[in-house]
C-alpha cells in the first residue's frame, strides 16, 4: 500500500522509502558523533543531512539512552526552542520532526515553530496529556511501541502478538480522535531483548496488518553493538545491513544518524526491486 503524510498541506509520498536524519541537541546521546552544540554546528549538520538526501530532520533534546536520566521539561524546551529558531531561520522548507514524549513540549514546538511531525518514543504512555494534545495538533504522529525505557528488560507472554495488539489498540485510539496521519515504529530497543529485536526485525512484514506506514530506527543500536562487542562508532556497516533488511520487511522510513549511507541503501533497495 502506498502511504503519504500531510506535511503542512503538502503530501510527502512514502511509495519510495524516506530517510529521517537524527539531530541531537543533547550532551549525552548514546552516539557521541550525533550531538551538536551551538548554532554553527547545528546549521552545518542540518545542511549536510539535507544535502545528502534526508527527507526529514528529527530533532531531539532529551536523551532516552539506556540508564540515562531525562532532563527537566523546561530544559528540554529551552534546548528545542533555541534549535528550532535556527532551523526555522536557515531551513524554512525542511520537514522537521520533534522527538519528545512530553505533551507540553510537543504543543509548544508545534505551535511556535515549523514542526511537521511529533515523534514520541513512549507511545503516549509517559505523559497522560500526549494523546489529547496530538489530537488537537492534528499533525503526523510517530507511534512507538515502548514497553519500557531503552535497555529495560520486559517480560512478555507472547512477544510479537503483544506488540502488534498494543500498537493496534493505540492506533484505534488515535484514529477515533481524528488523528489521520500515524506512523508506526515497532520500538527497537525499548523494552526488548536483543533476541526479541531480531525476532521482530525478521518478522517485520507482519506490521503491514496495522495498515499504517512503518518507521524503523536501528541506527547503531545495542542489538548490534552488544551482540558483536563493538562500540556505536563502529556500527555503521552493521546498521546499513540491517536497514536493508528493514526495507525488505516493508519499512517506509529509516531513522538514522548517517544519512548518505541510508540513502544509498534505499537506492540499492530500489535497484533490487527494479525501481530507478
Residues with a catalytic annotation lie at 221, 255
Residue given cell 540513502 in the structure block:
263
Amino acid at each position: 500500500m502506498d502511504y503519504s503524510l500531510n506535511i503542512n498541506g503538502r503530501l510527502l509520498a512514502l511509495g519510495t522509502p524516506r530517510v529521517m536524519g537524527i539531530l541531537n541537541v543533547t550532551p549525552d546521546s548514546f552516539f557521541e558523533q550525533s550531538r551538536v552544540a551551538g548554532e554553527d554546528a547545528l546549521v552545518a549538520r542540518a545542511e549536510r543531512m539535507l544535502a545528502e538526501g534526508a527527507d526529514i530532520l528529527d530533532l531531539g533534546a532529551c536523551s532516552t539512552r539506556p540508564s540515562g536520566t531525562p532532563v527537566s521539561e523546561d530544559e528540554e524546551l529551552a534546548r528545542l526552542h533555541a534549535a528550532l529558531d535556527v532551523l526555522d531561520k536557515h531551513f524554512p522548507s525542511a520537514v522537521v520532526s520533534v522527538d519528545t514524549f512530553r505533551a507540553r513540549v510537543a504543543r509548544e514546538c508545534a505551535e511556535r515553530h515549523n514542526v511537521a511531525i511529533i515523534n514520541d518514543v513512549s507511545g503516549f504512555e509517559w505523559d497522560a496529556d500526549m494523546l489529547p494534545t496530538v489530537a488537537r495538533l492534528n499533525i503526523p504522529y510517530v507511534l512507538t511501541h515502548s514497553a519500557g525505557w531503552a535497555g529495560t528488560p520486559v517480560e512478555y507472554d507472547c512477544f510479537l502478538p503483544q506488540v502488534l495488539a498494543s500498537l493496534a489498540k493505540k492506533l484505534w485510539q488515535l484514529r477515533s480522535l481524528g488523528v489521520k496521519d500515524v506512523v508506526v515504529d515497532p520500538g527497537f530497543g525499548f523494552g526488548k531483548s536483543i533476541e526479541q529485536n531480531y525476532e521482530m526485525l525478521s518478522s517485520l512484514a507482519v506490521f503491514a496488518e496495522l495498515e499504517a506506514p512503518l518507521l524503523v530506527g536501528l541506527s547503531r543500536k545495542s542489538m548490534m553493538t552488544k551482540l558483536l562487542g563493538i562500540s556505536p562508532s563502529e556500527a555503521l556497516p552493521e546498521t546499513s545491513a540491517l536497514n536493508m533488511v528493514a526495507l525488505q520487511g516493508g519499512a517506509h522510513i529509516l531513522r538514522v544518524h548517517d544519512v548518505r549511507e541510508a540513502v544509498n541503501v534505499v537506492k540499492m533497495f530500489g535497484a533490487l526491486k527494479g525501481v530507478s
